[in-house]
Amino acid sequence: MIQRVDLHTHSNASDGTDTPAELVTRAHEAGLKAVALTDHDTLCGLAEGKATADRLGDIEFVRGVEVSTGTEQGEMHILGLWVPEDAGPLEEALAEMRARRGERNQRILDKLDTLGVHITMDEVLAQAGGESVGRPHIAMALQARGYVKSITQAFDLYLGSTGKAYIPKDVMEPERAVSLMSGIGCSVIIAHPMLKPYPPGWIDEFVKRLLPFGLCGIEAWHSEHTDADARSCIGIARRYHLCVSGGSDYHGLNKPRIHLGIGYGSLMVTTDAFALLKHWREEQGLPC
Ligand code: AMP
Ligand code: ZN
Ligand code: FE
Ligand code: FE
């Protein structure tokens, strides 16, 4: 029997809606053999996720994180898997990113204010379950106050890149993200590299640029990837001797059509793929 894992998920520690305990419980109910919690810019949900998996048994928990980096082609996201408990320099860098998020959130609220839309930072923070706060929480606060009918409308009118209160996010240099994470023993994976159409060969160049900093792999299987996208990623992995990872990018009710383990229904990340990721770590002398 083919068994599944999910190595890319978000809880309410960032912009998902499940608590880490709920998320791991659902993953267990779905029969997944492993789940990685990869919240944006925070590690604050990981202890609860791990404790839940230990209590339930029969599901492996992988401590993860997702970091947004900036490139000439826009944002590229990078996942760190098997984040150690003592994440020293990574935790410091994430704290810095969260502080910049806080400043950006305030600038968005200020801009909304000038548009006659008045919500407070307390209302935004009330929507967040953890320490990584961003536009989805502002969208929820706007909806709670009746300024918009839906989260989608909040992004269309105000928060999206063509919205009236858009402020771009501060992002990390990709080299810095990769070296910070590989330096503490994470498996560093380029997330969903096929979300946008990049110029031919650009992803190859991006991979080559990051290899010297300790890049481990590339996310081939993702809810928003087609089968052809996944095959392209596997081709890239072969060319540069990278590992292949995958996950749903589950966000709970914030992306209600994406389910743990199966994405929109056809996602499949097998325990065999997971075993290869662990094998790479064993070869490097890294703990799993
Ligand atoms: P931030 O990190 O604060 O820039 O917020 C980015 C998050 O906003 C993404 O991870 C998505 O979950 C969410 N998001 C972006 N665009 C939209 C949209 N048009 N509708 C709903 N959610 C969105
Ligand atoms: Zn997200
Ligand atoms: Fe992402
Ligand atoms: Fe994600």
Domain borders along the chain are: 20-87+173-283, 94-159
Is 271 buried (19+), middle (13-18) or exposed (0-12) by CB count in 10 A? Answer: middle
Q: Could you tell me the distance, in angstroms and rounded to a whole number, from the CA of residue 116 to the centre of ligand 4? A: 32
Residue nearest to atom 2 of ligand 1 (CA): 134
Count of all residues that appear for the chain in the document: 288
Tell if the pTM clears 0.85, that is, is over it: yes
Is the Cβ atom of 15 under 6 angstroms away from ligand 1? yes
Hey, what are 269's tokens? 């990340």
Measuring CA to CA, which residue among 1, 11, 77, 7 is closest to residue 42?
11
Sign of the CA dihedral with 258 first, then 259, 260, and 262 last = negative
Rg for the chain, CA atoms, rounded: 18
Domain 20-87+173-283: CATH superfamily, name plus number: Metal-dependent hydrolases (3.20.20.140)
Nearest atom within ligand 1 for CA of residue 133: 3
**What CATH number belongs to 94-159?**
1.10.150.650
Q: Which-ligand-closest: CA of 137?
A: 1
**pLDDT > 70: percent of the chain:** 100
Q: Could you tell me the distance, in angstroms and rounded to a whole number, from the CA of residue 68 to the centre of ligand 2? A: 10
pLDDT tens column, 228-257: 999 999 999 999 999 999 999 999 998 999
pLDDT tens column, 83-134: 999 999 999 999 999 999 999 999 999 999 999 999 999 999 999 999 999 9
Residue nearest to atom 3 of ligand 1 (CA): 134
The C-alpha angle with vertex 174 and arms to 67 and 133, in degrees rounded to 5, equals: 25
Cα 63 to Cα 222: distance, rounded to the nearest angstrom: 19
Sheet holding 187-190, edge to edge: 34-37, 60-71, 74-81, 187-190, 217-222, 243-247
